[in-house]
């Protein structure tokens, strides 16, 4: 177990924001957490769990003890009559896991290709894209209690998944570190194609029965066309959640703006495209300080070079106020703001 002092976090968050961790510990196994908790002066210190840094906005230095999750390994943990259970370490790259499952003949995660971040962070956010969410393929996970050091296994019901939400953003926020996640990948795979961008790909190519690898390639191409590479332009992907509204609210908005992009949800409600709302308010391509709105996708905020966390916050608040003023909808920020 490594304990480092005065570590710059600029390369550990994909927005590229400046911040320094007073102390950083690299966690490669459950036992590392237990050893840490036994250390005088560190065991009881406030802690912050850091994965790939792709869903965090740092606005200050970190006096907390930063736990960098680096648990590795991908394997088939078990098989059932209807599924393969694939397990991955919390420190593995999410996209690398998706590619691994396809390379080894276990489709099911392809719609979520190229989402930045780590496997361990994925359940926290209940990540999703192009008609599929993590909870649709989730089996269970292992986590370590950051107070007692006890390892626990949680199933889907215990994780309390919601839209970009889970128990790890609620009751267990800051209290657990996810070390391994298991996914239930169906033996009888069926494509998930009911998303507009994928329907366009089918129409463009004439391929209306794509296999999993084709969907993976399509999703990668769509994301690369819309979203900036964090290695080139600092960003955290989608900055705001797509708002959920009632059918009545949706009708009211359509009456004022017939072109609003919306999707029906189970239960009769609708999901609105936050990027469309932001674009309609004229924010695409705009800049505040060194933080800006991406020219190709208004849902993405970017680092124009040298941005600091407070500039990102100022831009985000201005967008929220603008959207609320026009549509009466309060956009919720998706990444964790520290």
User: How far apart are the C-alpha atoms of 332 and 338, rounded to whole Å?
Assistant: 15
Question: What residues contact residue 139 under an 8 Å CB cut-off, 6+ apart?
Answer: 85, 155, 156, 182, 183, 184
Is 238 among the residues known to form the active site?
A: yes
| Nearest Cα residue to 85 out of 133, 152, 140 | 140
| Active-site choice (164, 180, 184, 223) | 164
Does 164 participate in catalysis according to the annotation? yes
Rounded CA separation 20/66 (Å):
10
- The single residue of 166, 182, 238, 311 carrying the catalytic annotation is 238
Neighbours of 167 (CB within 10 A): 18
User: Hey, CA dihedral for 249, 253, 255, 258, is it positive or negative?
Assistant: negative
Which residues are designated catalytic?
Answer: 164, 238, 334
């Amino acid at each position: 177990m490594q304990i480092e002092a005065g570590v710059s976090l600029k390369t550990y968050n994909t927005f590229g924001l400046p911040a320094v961790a007073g102390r950083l510990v690299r966690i490669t196994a459950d036992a590392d957490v237990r050893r840490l908790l036994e250390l005088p002066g560190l065991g009881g210190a406030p802690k912050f769990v850091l994965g790939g840094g792709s869903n965090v906005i740092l606005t200050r230095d970190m006096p907390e003890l930063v736990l960098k999750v680096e648990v590795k390994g991908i394997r088939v943990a078990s098989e059932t009559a209807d599924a393969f259970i694939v397990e991955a370490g919390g420190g593995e790259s999410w996209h690398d896991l998706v590619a691994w499952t396809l390379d080894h003949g276990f489709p099911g995660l392809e719609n979520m290709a190229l989402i930045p971040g780590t496997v361990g962070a994925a359940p926290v956010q209940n990540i999703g894209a192009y008609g599929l969410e993590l909870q649709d393929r989730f089996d269970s996970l292992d986590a370590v209690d950051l107070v007692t050091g006890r390892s626990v296994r949680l199933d889907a019901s215990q994780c309390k998944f919601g839209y970009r939400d889970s128990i790890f953003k609620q009751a267990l926020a800051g209290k657990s570190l996810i070390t391994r996640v298991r996914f239930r990948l169906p033996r009888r795979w069926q494509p998930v194609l009911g998303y507009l961008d994928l329907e366009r790909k089918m129409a463009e190519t004439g391929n209306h029965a794509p296999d999993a690898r084709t969907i993976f390639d399509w999703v990668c191409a769509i994301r690369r066309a819309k979203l900036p590479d964090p290695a080139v332009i600092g960003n955290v992907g989608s900055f705001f959640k797509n708002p959920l509204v009632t059918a009545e609210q949706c009708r009211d908005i359509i009456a004022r703006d017939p072109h609003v992009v919306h999707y029906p949800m189970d239960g009769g409600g609708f999901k609105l495209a936050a990027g469309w709302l932001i674009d309609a308010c004229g924010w695409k391509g705009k800049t505040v300080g060194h933080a800006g709105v991406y020219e190709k996708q208004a849902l993405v905020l970017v680092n124009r070079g040298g941005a600091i966390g407070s500039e990102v916050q100022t831009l985000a608040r201005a967008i929220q106020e603008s959207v609320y003023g026009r549509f009466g909808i309060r956009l919720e920020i998706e990444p964790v703001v520290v």
